[in-house]
Amino acid sequence: MGQTMAEKILARAAGKEHLSPGDLISARIDMALGNDITAPVAIREFRKIGIDKVFDRERIALIPDHFTPNKDIQSAEQVGEMRRFAHEQGIVHFYEIGRMGIEHALLPELGLALPGEVIIGADSHTCTYGALGAFATGVGSTDLAAVMATGELWFKVPPTIRLIFEGRPSPWIGGKDLILFAIGRLGVDGARYAALEFSGPVIDGLPMDGRLTISNMAIEAGAKAGLIAPDKITEKYLQGRARRPYEVVLGDADAAVLEEHVWDVSNLEPQVALPSSPANARPVSEVAGTRLDQVVIGSCTNGRIDDLRMAARLLKGKKVHPHVRLIIIPATQAIYLQALKEGLLETFANAEAAVSTPTCGPCLGGHMGILASGEVALATTNRNFVGRMGHTESRVYLAGPAVAAASAVAGHICSPQEIKEVD
Amino acid sequence: MSLLRGKVWTFGDDIDTDAIIPARYLNTSDPAELAKHCMEDADPEFPQKVSPGDIIVAGKNFGCGSSREHAPLALKAAGVACIVAENFARIFYRNAINIGLPILESPAASAALREDDQVEIDLAKGEITASAGKQKFLSVPFPPFMQEIMAAGGLINFVKTVIPQQNQVVTRTKRGGMPGSRQ
C-alpha cells in the first residue's frame, strides 16, 4: 500500500520508512515561524528550558506583522521583546517594517518554504506553504519554544482527504472561490485533524498565488495541512528563489485516503462566505445587493500581486462608492513595490482607496480599519467570526479580490461581471 | 490533585479562539489580563461570573480558528479547571496539553451535562461524574505519549527532561531526540 504526500514527508522527517494515520512521531523541523503575538510567549517558554542557543538560527523566522507598524505601546513592547531575542540569538530571518511582509506571503516569496519540508508556525495559517508541497502546520507558542530548543516536534500523522477540482471555471473564479466552496461543502470541522490534498485540472492550471490562497484556508475546515503536489508551476516559482536545496515528495496513487471529493466547478459562481463562519459559502448572486461600509483587500490569504492586479483591473477609471471605505494592503514590501511599478497603486489612489504598508491589521481586528457596531464589511481575509474585525455587532463577508473590488465600486455586494472594465 | 469538583458552564459548537480571547486584547500575553476578557465575545458576563474550579462543557470543535496560546492561557488564568467537549480543534488541543490545561473529550458528557450542574472529574481515570454519582461518563483516553507530557506538567518541562544537558547546542547532525520519537 502506498503513502500519501503528507505521510511520506512526515516519514522522511521522522527517519521512518512508512507511516500510517494515527502514528505518533517526532519530526525534524525545516523552518519554524513566530509573529509579534505568538513569539513573545514562545521566547519566554524557551528561556524556561534553560539552554542558551536556538537549534539553528537560519531555520527560525520571526516576523512582526500582526500589530505592526506598532499600534500602541504594548504592541511595541511585544515587538521589542522579539527584536532583542532575534539580535541576541543572531536569528537570520527577522524582518521589520520596510523589509517585511505578512508572514505567510513573505516566507514563500523569500524562498524559505520548500517542497518536501516540514514547517511549523505559531500561527494557524502556516498551512499556506502546503501550496509548495511542504507539510506545513500551525501550532502554539509552547510548541514553537520546543522547536527553537530541539529542532523537533511531535505530530500525530493525519489521514488525507483528497479534493479534486474538475471542469473549466469562468475567468472570475480564483483560488478564493474554490476554497470557500470547498469549506462550504466540508464545514468548519469537516477536515478536523486531516491533511487536505488539492488536485485536478483546475488546480493544475492555477498560478502559485491562487494556490497559496487555497492552502492558506485549509485550517478553516479544521485541517492540519493543505497540500498541493509540486509541478512545473511550483518549479518555475522556486527558480532563483529557493534558499535551500530541496527534494520534491509526491504521494503514491494507490495511497489510502479518508475521503475523496470530486467537484466540477465549470458553473461555479464567485463565492461569498456570509457572517459569521467561513463555511457559510454562497454564490455571489444570493447575497448581491447587501450594503457595505468597508471593503478590505489584503491579508495572508489575498494580498499577493495577482490579487492586486485583479482589484486594479476592476477599479481602473472608477471611484469607490461614496459610502464605502476601501482599504488595500499589499502583503509584502516586494508586492507593494511591484504594484507601484505596475501603476496599480496609482489606480487604487485615483479610485479613492486607502493603501497601507503590509500588516495583518484589520483581518484580526488589530488596527487599520476596525468596524463599529452595526457596520458591514466584505474582506478578502480568511475569517469572519463574531467580532473578528471589530465590534461584536459588526458583520464580515469573505470573498476573493474580484468580488471585493466590484463591490467597493457598487457600494454593495455584487458580481465582478456587473462592473464594466475600462481599458 | 487530579480530582476536580466544579460548576458547569455550557457553550455550543465551534467556539472559536476569537470568542475565547478576542485579538484586540492580544497586545499583552499576561495571563491575568487575558483572564479579564476570557470568553467575552461568546458571553460578555463570563469573566465576572466564572469562579476558580469551574468547568466548561462545550460541543464539537472547541477552540477552532487561530493558534493563539492566549486562548487556553486565558481560560486557565480565569480559573477554569477543565474543559469537557465533544471534541477539540487540533491546535487548541495541542496548546491545552502543552500548557497543562486539563481537557477531556466525551461526546456523551457534552450532550448530557447542563449549565449549573455540579460535576466531579477524576483526571487520572478520565471519569466525569454528575448528579451526585447518578451520571458517569468516561472520556476518550489520551495516547501514552501525551500522558507523559501531561504528567510532566506540560511540554516545556517535558523538553527539559530530554535535552541532554544545559547549554548544549543541538545541531542538525547531532541532536537529542524527544521521547516517543525516532532513534
Calculate the alpha carbon distances from B30 to A49, A247, B77, B96, B125 in Å. Answer: 19, 42, 9, 17, 32
**pLDDT number for residue A177:** 98
Contact indicator for A297, A329 with CB cutoff of 8 Å: yes
DSSP bridge pairs for A355? A328
Calculate the alpha carbon distances from B171 to A28, A75, A112, A420, B166 in Å. Answer: 11, 33, 19, 59, 14
Residues 10-49 of chain B whose Cβ lies under 8 A from any Cβ of chain A: 14, 16, 18-19, 22-24, 26-29, 41
- Look at residue B129 and give its three-state secondary structure: strand
- The span from the CA of A360 to the CA of B74, in Å, is 23
From the list A225, A243, A316, A174, the residue with the least C-alpha distance to A9 is A225
DSSP bridge pairs for B83? B56, B103
Taking only the tens place, the pLDDT of each residue in A350-388 is: 999 999 999 999 999 999 999 999 999 999 999 999 999
**pLDDT number for residue B164:** 63
* B41 contacts in chain A (CB < 8 Å): 386-387, 392
Q: What stretch of H or E contains A233? A: helix A232-238
Consecutive 10-residue averages of pLDDT for chain B (183 residues): 90 97 97 97 96 98 97 98 98 96 97 97 95 93 89 93 58 42 37
- The span from the CA of A78 to the CA of B5, in Å, is 37
**pLDDT number for residue B180:** 41
DSSP bridge pairs for A199? A164
* Chain position carrying cell 475565547: B20
- The span from the CA of A234 to the CA of B164, in Å, is 40
Between these two residues, B1 and A113, which has the higher pLDDT value?
A113
Domain ranges of chain A: 5-262, 272-418
Identify the closest residue of chain B to A390 by CA–CA distance: B24
* Chain position carrying cell 461570573: B49
The answer on pLDDT for A151 being more than 50 is yes
* Contact criterion met (CB < 8 Å) for A222 and B64: yes
Predicted ipTM? 0.96
Sign of torsion, CA A400 A406 A408 A413? negative
Contact indicator for A308, A297 with CB cutoff of 8 Å: yes
- The span from the CA of B13 to the CA of B58, in Å, is 7
Establish if B166 touches chain A: CB-CB under 8 angstroms. yes
- Give percent of chain A above pLDDT 70: 100
* Contact criterion met (CB < 8 Å) for A38 and B69: yes
Average confidence score pLDDT of chain A: 98
**pLDDT number for residue A408:** 98
* Contact criterion met (CB < 8 Å) for A224 and B168: no
* Contact criterion met (CB < 8 Å) for B27 and A26: no
The full DSSP string for A10-34 is HHHHHT-S---TT-EEEEE-SEEEE
Specify the fold of A272-418. Answer: Aconitase; domain 3 (3.30.499)
* B60 contacts in chain A (CB < 8 Å): 189
**pLDDT number for residue B166:** 44
**pLDDT number for residue B2:** 75
Identify the closest residue of chain B to A363 by CA–CA distance: B23
Whether A5-262 shares its CATH topology with A272-418 is answered: yes
d(CA B132, nearest CA chain A) in Å: 34
Contact indicator for A275, A396 with CB cutoff of 8 Å: yes
* Contact criterion met (CB < 8 Å) for B27 and A71: yes
DSSP conformation class of A239:
T
Contact indicator for A223, A141 with CB cutoff of 8 Å: no
Count of H-run helices and E-run strands, chain B: 8, 7
**pLDDT number for residue B60:** 98
Mean of the pLDDT values across residues A23-38? 97
Contact indicator for A121, A136 with CB cutoff of 8 Å: yes
Among the partner residues B67, B154, B181, nearest to A139 by beta-carbon distance = B67
- The span from the CA of A386 to the CA of A389, in Å, is 8
Confidence of residue A12 (pLDDT cuts 50, 70, 90): very high
**pLDDT number for residue B168:** 45
Q: Homologous superfamily of A5-262 in CATH?
A: Aconitase, domain 3 (3.30.499.10)
Among the partner residues A48, A141, A156, nearest to B69 by beta-carbon distance = A141
Calculate the alpha carbon distances from B38 to A46, A178, B78, B79 in Å. Answer: 25, 35, 7, 10
**pLDDT number for residue B179:** 42
